[in-house]
Amino acid sequence: NAGVTQTPKFQVLKTGQSMTLQCAQDMNHEYMSWYRQDPGMGLRLIHYSVGAGITDQGEVPNGYNVSRSTTEDFPLRLLSAAPSQTSVYFCASSPGTAQETQYFGPGTRLLVL
Amino acid sequence: GNSVTQMEGPVTLSEEAFLTINCTYTATGYPSLFWYVQYPGEGLQLLLKATKADDKGSNKGFEATYRKETTSFHLEKGSVQVSDSAVYFCALSDNSGAGSYQLTFGKGTKLSVIP
């Protein structure tokens, strides 16, 4: 099992560009989520999904879109990148709710100039 | 809303020293509590958890006890090793409605263990 995979590992964008961060898991987990990690801020939840076709907003959803067409994939879209979105992004999955063990991907480091 | 407060780092210890990282929380209802660890260049992984008051989570020599009366979940290890150098995050998930799908994290504490 590969677990949770994320691509790319590192990306540089210019302000206003769009891009999609990819996340995939091969554990047949229903729950998937996206967090951003900023220095001195811990991790903050962006969006989450409790199954294919079902998504909801987390603490900091503005500027990000998600969709969940399959159990395995949960891409995060930046519609118009801003310097404030410079961060490290982590995808996570678990069999059920957040009370169960979350399995995190290795992260995507994003720099917006 | 929910919040987690953990001691500011960085923390530097000598090998075999005793470790305590303090964590306190504010939550509605009866949350589940977690410690996650992030080794350099990697994603987070669960270290231990406790789901109800007075539960003790333990793993790899680390322990934490869920104290409802003091709303705390302090992480301890009796003898740290260089391989324990990492960032440690305290987190909670409340067990009510939408809160059960969200983890609230503390800011993280960076631990460096020197030989």
pLDDT tens per residue across span B45-91:
999 999 999 999 999 999 999 999 999 999 999 999 999 999 999 99
* Tens-digit pLDDT profile for residues A9-27: 999 999 999 999 999 999 9
Give the closest-approach CA distance of B34 to chain A in angstroms.
Answer: 9
Asked whether residue B25 carries a pLDDT value surpassing 70, the answer given is yes
* Tens-digit pLDDT profile for residues A61-96: 999 999 999 999 999 999 999 999 999 999 999 988
Q: Token digits for B69?
A: 């009366």
The Cα A48–Cα A58 span in angstroms is 7
User: Which of A36, A37, A38, A55 shows the shortest CA–CA distance to A46?
Assistant: A36
Q: Does B32 contact chain A (CB < 8 Å)?
A: yes
Q: Does B109 contact chain A (CB < 8 Å)?
A: no
Give the closest-approach CA distance of B49 to chain A in angstroms.
Answer: 9
Interface touch B103/A105, C-beta < 8 Å: no
Specify burial of residue B78 (Cβ count, 10 A radius: 0-12, 13-18, 19+): exposed
pLDDT, position B73? 98
Asked whether residue B114 carries a pLDDT value surpassing 90, the answer given is yes
The Cα B18–Cα A39 span in angstroms is 26
CA atoms within 13 A on the CB side of A88: 17
E-strand stretches of B7-96? 11-14, 19-21, 23-26, 32-38, 44-50, 56-59, 62-65, 75-77, 86-93
Which residue in chain B has the smallest CA separation from A32? B101
Of B36, B44, B51, the CB nearest to A99: B51
CA atoms within 13 A on the CB side of A40: 0
pLDDT, position B9? 84
Neighbours of A1 (CB within 10 A): 6
Q: Token digits for A28?
A: 């047949």
The Cα B65–Cα B84 span in angstroms is 20
Mean pLDDT of chain B: 92
